Amino acid sequence: MKKLIFSLIIALTLFNPLFGQGSTDITGKPTSYWLHGNPDKDNAWNWMKDVDGTVRGLRGTGKIWYVDSGVSAEGNGKTITSARDTLDEIFALISADGGANRGDIVYIMQGHIEQSSTEGAIWDADVAGVKIIGLGVGTDMPTFEFNNATTTTQIGADNIWLQNVWLKPATDTILIGLEVESGSDYFTMTNCIVGTASVSTQEFAVGVQVGTSTGAVIQYNLFDAGTAQASVSVRIEAATGIVIRGNTMRGDNSTANIYNLLMLSENITFDDNTLWNGVTGGLNTEPVWELLSGTIGISRRNYAATNLATMNLAFVGDGMLNFGNYYTESAGGARTAYALDEVASTGTQTTVTVSDGI
């Protein structure tokens, strides 16, 4: 009896390898059953189903799509070799496929480039819940070139994620690089480049504009306005709960790096941004942010480089609670940086209260 039980255990192990729950052993020599579809003996088929289930489990219920301007022949967008050559085409396919809030991911291949010399949007991310991820580093980043002053890109749905793309001006005074349309909530933009034109006169008047919306996150991006006197890197209007953190904003912004003047915003957060209003030839005489009176939020650990009569003029916003922001206006001078809590001017004297640390 013991021998029989032992033999049964060995047999069960051979036919149902226990390399993890639900796994299939493919380390053995292939048999004639492989890819014949026998559910009991076809290890290759069963293994493929295991892998498919694992991959689908990791990515959730969403589908994967590909964009590549260098594709040889456009297809259904579901594989690298059948990619579509514009991002807007992919959003049309996702919409037709009922992909809203399904968790779809769009990969834009390295070296991809789209250019537009016409009015309107190069692309409009108008299907909710889609994550857009650009592949490539530096000049290999997917690039969208703007060749018309009214060309833009748009976020037209909730829950959109935009990562690692380059929005590049290629003409003078482009009105808006990226517009988050009113009503498009919980947008995230991360690790992107906005600006850095090839010609000094080419720029976005507004790099990113966030309209009436909730929960936008603008993080870890580079905004480079250059010397063309662009108005503002990020403009926010009636935005609730927006977070702007970890960005580098540099260049000659004629208004401010961050700007809010037309409609009140509330519960905004500015964290750990490097805000350099000026160029290598000298600092500007404008604030790093200028907010409408009554806009409410918190700022902390932001670094401001500009040149104003008093330090508090670099941070304009009477509704902001400021924690240990830093300011400097001297390059290589005796003055380094100050953690700004309060500044008061009386006649020719300036009294500065600084924090002991962050």
Provide the 3-class DSSP secondary structure of residue 131.
Answer: strand
The DSSP H or E segment spanning 290 is strand 289-291
Provide the 3-class DSSP secondary structure of residue 180.
Answer: strand
The C-alpha atoms of residue 279 and residue 161 are separated, in whole angstroms, by 31
Provide the 3-class DSSP secondary structure of residue 345.
Answer: strand
Burial class (CB in 10 A: 0-12, 13-18, 19+), 53: exposed
- Please work out, in degrees rounded to the nearest 5, the angle formed at the alpha carbon of residue 246 by the alpha carbons of 276 and 288: 30
Structure token digits, residue 49: 């189903």
Torsion of CA 148, 213, 222, 199, to 10 degrees: 10
- Per the DSSP assignment, residues forming a β-bridge with 218 are 189, 244
Confidence (pLDDT) at 129: 98
Confidence (pLDDT) at 16: 45
Residues 6+ away with beta carbon under 8 Å from 90 = 65, 66, 67, 77, 84, 106
The DSSP H or E segment spanning 220 is none
Site of tokens 């500044």: 343
**Regions of the chain where pLDDT drops below 50:** 6, 8-21, 345, 355-358
Burial class (CB in 10 A: 0-12, 13-18, 19+), 190: middle
Alpha helix segments (H runs only) across 38-197: 43-59, 87-96
Is 180 within 8 Å of 209 (Cβ atoms)? yes
